[in-house]
Amino acid sequence: MRPFEYARPETLAQAIALLEHEGGRARVLAGGTDLVIRLRDGTYEPAVVIDIKRIPELAPAIAEVDGLVRISGGTVMTDVADSALMQRSFPALVDAARVVGSVQIRNRATLAGNICNASPAADTAPALLVYDATVVCFGPGEERRIPLDDFFVRSGVTALAPAELVTAIELPLPSGRLGAAFQRRTRRRGHDLASVTVAVAIHDRGEVRLAFGSLGPRPLLLVGRVGDEADLIARAVAAAAPSPTSMRAGPEYRLAMLGVLARRALDAASASLRGAAA
């Protein structure tokens, strides 16, 4: 690894000031499960790495506040998967968090980091999208909230401004009942990067939300109605743009799997909605 300096700000203000000062010479370190790989392979060559894990506002926390569940920026996948609140209210996200890498990876990888990397294959992205997540960002200006669907721009690029950090992800507690499911395609049962990710949420009012990833430059969200599932799947397939050169799977297979997984996720979400009704 090329050498770099290490900074460990103790407050949010310090972190932002540092980011402003260093600009493109700095990289933010949260869980490190993506960053350290890139530091080692030379994809990133920062002059300084800013470790944000000592900032109190980012300390791992999942809490319900005014009808929202707030997941702080430092919360790791294991915390999300183990949280009774998350299991109860956002099971599809829990399912996704559970398959991000191995136990060792999940103990470090942050939910915020997963979305900030903006890999189209981010396992948690589809579930966050169907659960209508909002990204809370803090920077030199005011704190702002960006709907997740507006947060993803394309592979590796988000709407974060320079010197901005994600301090939390907020999920609205569903009003009414929700059935949700997560599905993905990998090359083996053991942990793997997905070649297709799909999440579905069906609201008892009849709205169906379908999000998919790994089939284009960013995860996509589509909304439809119960009864129009076939149309929703067709729209998803039409919007998908699988890479022709991916090592993980070929485009024809991926498009077919999008259809298969979407169907399975819809069935599972329906079943869970009916179960919730019981």
Q: Which positions lie near other proteins, rule CB under 8 A? A: 1-6, 8, 29, 32-33, 36-37, 39-40, 49, 51, 53, 78, 101-105, 107-108, 185, 187-193, 247-250, 252-253, 256-257, 260
Classified as helix, coil or strand, 72 is strand
Minimum distance between the CB of residue 129 and other proteins, rounded to whole angstroms? 23
Residue 229 C-beta: closest distance to other proteins, Å: 16
Nearer to other proteins, 39 or 202 (CB): 39
Q: Which is nearer to other proteins, 245 or 277 (CB)?
A: 245
- For residue 169, list its beta bridge partners: 71, 135
DSSP string, 140-206: SS--EEEEHHHHEEETTEESPPTT-EEEEEEEEPPSS-EEEEEEEE-SSSSS---SEEEEEEEETTS
As beta bridge partners, residue 35 has none
Nearer to other proteins, 16 or 249 (CB): 249
Distance of closest approach, residue 121 Cβ to other proteins, in angstroms: 12
The residue among 270, 278, 250 whose CA lies nearest residue 187 is: 250
CB count in 10 Å sphere of residue 91: 18
> Smallest distance from the beta carbon of 223 to other proteins, in angstroms?
25
d(CA 246, CA 277): 42
When the beta carbons of 29 and 210 are compared against other proteins, the nearer one is 29
Nearer to other proteins, 104 or 175 (CB): 104
Identify the sign of the CA torsion 10, 112, 147, 268.
negative
Report in angstroms how near the CB of residue 249 gets to other proteins at its nearest.
5
